[in-house]
Chain A
């Protein structure tokens, strides 16, 4: 595996100074930059902020014809979500089990498989890598169709194990591919010396390589978690009354008699906030993760 040539440059020239403007046009340049950055910030943050605000608005305020930035906040939307006939808690629990389950399994198997992939050279390696990536990137609509029929046969529809398996169909190849990228970044001299001092292959893996990829494992787990948690297409087909997840619950609030935007923004907030928190926690390795290791961003 290789990174793009440009990236190598950094090795030679150290930390980035790159486009920093010269002192004389610092003020104007910096000002323009800041204006642009501020616009970009508005563009990204306003919708999310609006959703967050909406979730604390009362039923009249949330759909008021004049957008309301100031209002009397209420927790009623959240209370409504967790009480009454359509209590959200089972959905929340399903979402957690399915997303965490698939993330943990994918990370464990992906770590083993990724190490194997990184440390072996065999004839079909390239084909194998290619298979992983095309599995990861296969169009969901094309995958879910036969998967549904297979699951029907296996009795896995509307079960959490079924949902976890469905998520593994994209999280597992991702985890193997990414973990192999992380293992390949470990200086081989470390493993060599471990071998010389009499470590078995397993001991080398367990005591030398594995601790060095802790960050990689956490990143992999987090990204798998995000992918699974955010899924909608698989869940609409595979899940049922016993395994409904949060994104499905959210779209169910769009009903014939109208949309309860207060509750909808509240569900949105519940779906989004945890992923933002865990996602930002691993932001140092995000580039590596999201480019499937083609770019390393550390």
Chain B
């Protein structure tokens, strides 16, 4: 069952009252935070500054790292690179299709599980399994299942007349990596939605039923609006992760065929660690970072809304 922690928080006496405003003295809680924040600072701010510096430089590796100032060269190249923009389009397509399918399936599974009176305790853990699988293993497993000579799923597809190599054609390869992502992360959406569903007021639904509302109407007009905030959380979490991970594609198609699965993280990885075009890679990195930060901002705002009111 879901419980908000907001109403609890509202009554916490912040220790702001106990010390003068603007005091520079580090408080007890400040000391508690210090080690974590210091370590995180080292691990995140130094790389960030390096990334920014690199994006304005020609980075030489051999014989030790050297940054030669290159002005806006990398940036100009990135903005003029047609292949890079194609990758952004691919990323967007990947993003929309994974998220779309995961949402629909995840909500459907959650609703179904929520209807189960018995057996949910047994079914739910099984449904959750894919979430714990390392993405690189998901990719390798996908290759095993889709191998045209011995793959279990390829075999099934062949028996219904699809004989082409799934990972060998742009559309089917794209669908395959999308479905691998869907396989891994739909359970997360289902889990989150299930938590939201348990908060839907049953007596209102009962009343609606007595009024003769159909199941679908009840779902669309009553259930869905009330779980919308939670779905938004799910979407934001998955969005940030979608920019973050690329293991599945890396071990299956590595961007091919015909660049159909070359999403931005794959292109960054390629620019950085295959071509050692580190300045250019840094530009792509910053672009991705900005996108993540925008999504994260939205997320934090969402979480802060209630508090401010």
Taking beta carbons and an 8 Å cutoff, which residues of A are in contact with B?
A: 1-22, 29-30, 33-34, 36-37, 40-41, 43-48, 50-51, 54, 62-67, 109-110, 112-113, 115-117, 119-122, 126, 128-135, 137-143, 145-147, 149-150, 152-153, 165, 168-169, 172-173, 176, 181, 184-188, 192, 201-202, 205, 226, 229-233, 236-237, 247, 250-251, 254, 261, 264-265, 268, 271-272, 275-276, 279-280, 283, 286-287, 290-298
Contact = CB atoms under 8 A, between A and B. Distances in A.
21 contacts: A3-B5, A5-B306, A10-B3, A45-B126, A113-B32, A116-B31, A120-B16, A135-B43, A138-B244, A139-B243, A140-B265, A145-B281, A147-B47, A201-B28, A230-B137, A232-B135, A254-B140, A272-B134, A286-B128, A290-B188, A295-B195
B167 interface: no
Interface of B: 1-9, 11-16, 27-33, 35-37, 39-40, 43-44, 46-48, 50-51, 54, 65, 105, 108-109, 111-117, 123-137, 140-141, 144-145, 147, 149-150, 152, 155, 183, 187-188, 191-192, 194-203, 205, 209, 215, 218-219, 223, 226-230, 232-234, 237, 240-241, 243-247, 250-251, 265, 268-269, 272-273, 278, 281-282, 284-286, 288-289, 292-293, 295-297, 299-300, 302-307
A110 B36 contact: yes
For chain B, what secondary structure do more than half of its interface residues adopt (helix, strand, loop), or is it mixed?
helix
Contact of B265 (A46, A139, A150, A296): A139
B29 A126 contact: no
Nearest to A12: B201
A135 B300 CA distance: 13
Contacts of B245: 140, 233
Q: Which of A7, A184, A229 has the most CB of B within 10 A?
A: A7
A294 B299 contact: yes
Given A19-B111, A120-B27, A146-B54, A44 B187 contact: yes
Contacts of B196: 4, 6-7, 295
Given A11-B4, A44-B183, A112-B35, A291 B281 contact: no
Contacts of A254: 140, 251
A251 to B, nearest CB: 6
